[in-house]
C-alpha cells in the first residue's frame, strides 16, 4: 500500500541512528525477517488495523504466539520505551499494539529503558524518570492500557534484569557484538552493555518470578531487529537440549552441555515416553537420543516439553522470543517523524490548533495544480495525510479504501482531506488529553 522507495541500506541495522528504513522487502530478505503477507495473524480475534493494513510487515517466530492464542495458553508481551523527549504518533503505534494484545489475553511487561537512554542518549536517570512518569506512562493510560496483568518497570531498578544481562553475556563474544552493532574501539562500555540489558528485559519475563517459561512477543520498529536477533540467539544458546533433524534425516534430542549428561538423557527419555514416543535409541557418547517414531512436525511439541523441565535441571528453558516489526510513520514534512524536529511530529500533548497547523502545511501526494489533480488523480501512497488516516485516524477499512480510490481517481482534493484529518486529530488529541488528566493518579497501579 505504501510506496517503497528504492533505498540503499548498509548491511547493518543500527538501532541508535536516525535512519528511516523504507525498503522493507529488502530488509526482510537480507535479515531473514519473516513475511507477514501470508496473513499468519488472521486467526487472531479481531486483528488490529496495523496488522490488517500491513503496517506490521514482518515477524520472527510469530507461529508460537498464534499457537498460544489459539490454544489459550499463557503468553507475554514485553516491550520497551526510550524515555527521551515527548511522545508523538510514531511512539503511539507500539502502545496501540500492546493494548490490542492485552485485549486478547497477553500479560503485559513494559521496560522503561532508562539505562539505555543514559548510555546512548546522554540523559541522567533522573531526567528519564521524569519523562517516563510525566510524559509516556500517562499517555499509555490515556490510550487505554489496563492495570490488570500489566507491569511497567525501570531497567535501572530491576535487579533480575541487570543480573540476567550480566549472566547471559557469558555466551556472547565481542566479535558477535561488533558484527551485530558495528561497535569499535571508541564505543563506551555502558553503550556496549545496553543491548545486553535489553536482552535481560526480553528474557527476564520467563523467569519463575515473572510467570515462568512462555512464548513472549516483542512488538517493535524494525530498527530494533539486532536486539531481537541477539535475544533469540542468547535464548537458544542457554538451552540444555536441542531437538533437530540430523543430516541423515533422523530426529534427535541432543544434550548441549557436558555436565550431568546421563541425568539429562534420563530426563529426556522420560519426557519422550510421556509423549508416547517409544522407539528411542540412546547413544550416550553422542549425548543423543534418536526418536525413530517421530516426524518433523513433532519437534516443536518435544522441544516445548523439554524446555519446561530445564529450570529444574539448572537451565533457563527459554522459549525463543517472537517479534513483530512495524514500518515507521513518515513525518509531516516528508522526513522521519522525530521529537527533535517538532514540525515533523504530532505530539500527543500538542494542542489541536498546533496539530491542525502542522497538518495544513504537510506534504501530501497531491498534484501541483487542482486541474492536474482532477485529471490525473493524487498519490495516496506518497501522502502523509493518508498515512495519518491509515495508521491512526480511521478505524473502518472500507472508509479508508474509499479515500484511497477517490484520491487516485482525482475525485478528492487535498484541502478536503486535510480538513477531515484535522477534525479527526482534534477528536483524538482532546480525548487523550482529557484522559491524561486523571492518569497521573493511577500510575502507581502499573509500576512494579
**Contact positions vs ligand TRP (CB under 6 A):** 15, 78-80, 82, 111, 113, 116, 198, 201-202, 218, 220, 224
In terms of CB distance, is 289 or 385 closer to ligand SF4?
385
The listed partner (ligand SF4, ligand TRP, none) that binds 96, CB under 5 to 8 Å by sort, is: none
Give the long-range contacts of residues 312-317, CB within 8 A, separation 24 or more. Answer: 313/240, 313/260, 313/263, 313/264, 313/267, 314/240, 314/260, 315/238, 315/239, 315/240, 316/203, 316/206, 316/207, 316/213, 316/235, 316/238, 316/239, 317/206, 317/213, 317/239, 317/240
Exposure class string for 106-133: b at 16+ Cβ within 10 A, else e: bbbbbbbbbbbbbbbbebebebbbebbb
CB of 370 to ligand SF4, least distance (A): 11
Position of minimal CB gap to ligand TRP: 80
Q: Residue 41 or 386: which CB sits closer to ligand SF4?
A: 386
2 near ligand SF4, judged by CB under 6 A: no
- 338 contacts 285 by C-beta, under 8 angstroms: no
Q: Which residue has the cell 561497535?
A: 183
Smallest gap, in angstroms, from Cβ of residue 404 to ligand SF4? 7
198 exposure class (CB count in 10 Å sphere: 0-12, 13-18, 19+): buried
- Cα–Cα nearest to 446, from 166, 112, 87: 112
* 3-state percent helix, strand, coil for the chain, nearest multiple of 5: 50, 15, 35
**From the list ligand SF4, ligand TRP, none, which binds 365 (C-beta under 5 to 8 Å, kind-based)?**
ligand SF4
Helix (H, G, I), strand (E, B) or coil at 404: helix
Shortest Å distance, C-beta 57 to ligand SF4: 21
Binder of residue 345, out of ligand TRP, ligand SF4, none (CB less than 5 to 8 A by kind): none
Least Cβ distance, residue 194 to ligand TRP (angstroms):
8
The CB-of-395 to ligand SF4 minimum distance in angstroms stands at 17
Choose, by CB under 6 A, the member of 366, 394, 436, 446 that binds ligand SF4. 366
Nearer to ligand TRP, 277 or 318 (CB): 318
Q: 87 touches which of ligand SF4, ligand TRP, none (CB within 5 to 8 A by kind)? A: none
Beta-carbon contacts of 406 under 8 Å, excluding residues fewer than 6 positions away, are 412
Question: 433, 443, 441: which is closest to 87 by C-alpha?
Answer: 433
Name the residue nearer to ligand TRP (CB basis): 78 or 150.
78
**Residue with smaller CB distance to ligand TRP, 65 or 240:** 65
**β-bridge pairing 34-35 and 251-255:** unpaired
Q: Smaller CB distance to ligand SF4: residue 34 or 387? A: 387
Number of residues that bind ligand SF4 (CB under 6 A): 15
Cα distance between residue 301 and residue 307, in whole Å: 10
Choose between 196 and 383: whose C-beta lies nearer to ligand TRP: 196
385 binds, among ligand SF4, ligand TRP, none (CB under 5 to 8 A by kind): ligand SF4
Residue 325: alpha-carbon gap to chain centroid: 6
Interacting positions 18-57 with ligand SF4 (CB under 6 A): none
Please enumerate in sequence order all residues whose Cβ is within 8 A of that of 106, keeping only pairs 6 or more positions apart, or say none: 75, 76, 77, 149, 217
Per CB under 6 A, contacts with ligand SF4 among 381-420 are 383, 385-386, 403, 407, 412-414, 417
Q: How far is the CB of 362 from ligand SF4 (least distance, A)?
A: 8
Q: How far is the CB of 383 from ligand SF4 (least distance, A)?
A: 3
Report residue 116 CA to chain centroid gap.
17
116 contact choice in ligand SF4, ligand TRP, none (CB below 5 to 8 Å, kind-dependent)? ligand TRP
Q: How far apart are CA 331 and CA 385, in angstroms?
A: 10
State the minimum distance, in angstroms, from the CB of residue 78 to ligand TRP.
6
Q: Which stretch binds ligand SF4 (CB under 6 A): 74-82, 130-138, 337-345, 379-387?
A: 379-387
Q: Identify whether the C-beta of residue 388 lies closer than 8 Å to the C-beta of residue 9.
A: no
Q: Dig out the grid coordinates for 220 from the structure.
A: 517493535
Contact call for residues 378 and 414 (beta carbons, < 8 A): yes
CB of 92 vs ligand SF4, minimal distance in Å: 21
Q: Which stretch binds ligand SF4 (CB under 6 A): 262-270, 276-284, 359-367, 392-400?
A: 359-367
Angle of CA points 255, 312, 162, to nearest 5°: 95
Q: How far is the CB of 326 from ligand TRP (least distance, A)?
A: 12
Residues interacting with ligand SF4, by CB under 6 A? 364-366, 378-380, 383, 385-386, 403, 407, 412-414, 417
Amino acid at each position: 500500500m505504501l510506496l517503497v522507495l528504492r533505498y540503499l541500506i548498509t548491511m547493518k541495522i543500527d538501532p541508535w541512528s536516525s535512519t528511516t528504513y523504507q525498503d522493507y522487502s529488502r530488509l526482510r530478505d537480507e535479515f531473514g525477517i519473516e513475511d507477514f503477507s501470508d496473513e499468519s495473524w488472521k486467526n487472531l480475534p479481531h486483528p488490529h488495523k496495523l496488522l490488517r493494513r500491513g503496517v506490521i510487515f514482518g515477524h520472527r517466530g510469530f507461529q508460537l504466539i498464534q499457537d498460544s492464542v489459539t490454544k489459550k495458553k499463557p503468553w507475554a508481551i514485553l516491550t520497551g520505551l526510550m524515555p527521551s523527549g515527548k511522545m508523538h504518533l510514531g511512539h503511539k503505534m507500539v502502545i496501540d499494539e500492546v493494548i490490542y494484545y492485552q485485549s486478547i489475553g497477553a500479560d503485559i511487561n513494559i521496560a522503561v529503558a532508562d539505562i539505555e537512554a543514559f548510555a546512548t542518549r546522554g540523559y541522567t536517570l533522573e531526567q528519564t524518570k521524569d519523562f517516563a512518569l510525566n510524559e509516556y506512562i500517562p499517555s499509555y493510560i490515556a490510550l487505554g492500557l489496563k492495570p490488570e496483568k500489566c507491569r511497567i518497570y525501570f531497567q535501572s531498578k530491576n535487579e533480575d534484569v541487570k543480573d540476567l544481562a550480566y549472566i547471559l553475556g557469558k555466551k556472547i563474544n565481542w566479535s558477535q557484538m561488533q558484527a551485530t552493532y558495528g561497535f569499535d574501539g571508541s564505543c563506551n562500555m555502558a553503550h556496549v552493555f545496553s543491548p545486553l540489558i535489553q536482552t535481560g528485559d526480553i528474557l527476564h519475563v520467563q523467569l519463575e518470578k515473572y510467570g515462568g517459561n512462555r512464548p513472549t512477543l516483542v512488538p517493535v520498529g524494525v530498527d530494533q531487529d539486532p536486539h531481537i536477533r541477539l535475544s533469540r540467539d542468547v535464548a537458544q544458546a542457554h538451552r540444555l537440549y536441542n531437538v533437530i533433524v540430523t543430516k541423515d534425516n533422523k530426529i534427535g534430542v541432543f544434550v548441549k552441555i557436558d555436565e550431568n549428561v546421563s541425568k539429562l538423557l534420563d530426563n529426556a527419555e522420560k519426557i519422550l515416553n510421556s509423549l508416547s514416543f517409544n522407539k528411542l535409541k540412546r547413544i550416550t557418547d553422542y549425548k543423543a537420543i534418536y526418536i525413530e517414531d517421530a516426524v518433523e512436525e513433532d519437534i516443536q511439541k518435544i522441544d516445548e516439553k523439554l524446555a519446561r523441565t530445564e529450570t529444574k535441571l539448572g537451565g533457563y528453558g527459554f522459549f525463543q522470543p517472537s517479534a513483530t516489526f512495524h514500518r515507521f510513520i513518515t513525518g509531516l514534512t516528508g522526513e522521519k517523524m522525530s521529537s527533535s524536529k517538532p514540525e515533523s511530529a504530532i505530539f500527543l500533548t500538542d494542542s489541536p490548533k498546533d496539530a491542525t497547523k502542522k497538518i495544513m502545511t504537510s506534504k501530501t501526494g497531491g498534484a501541483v495544480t487542482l486541474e492536474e489533480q482532477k485529471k490525473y488523480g493524487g498519490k495516496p501512497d506518497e501522502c502523509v495525510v493518508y498515512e495519518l488516516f491509515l495508521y491512526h485516524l480511521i478505524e473502518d477499512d472500507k472508509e479508508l479504501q474509499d479515500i484511497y480510490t477517490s484520491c487516485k481517481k482525482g475525485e478528492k482534493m487535498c484541502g478536503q482531506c486535510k480538513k477531515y484529518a484535522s477534525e479527526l486529530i482534534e477528536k483524538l488529541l482532546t480525548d487523550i488529553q482529557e484522559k491524561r488528566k486523571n492518569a497521573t493518579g493511577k500510575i502507581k497501579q502499573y509500576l512494579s
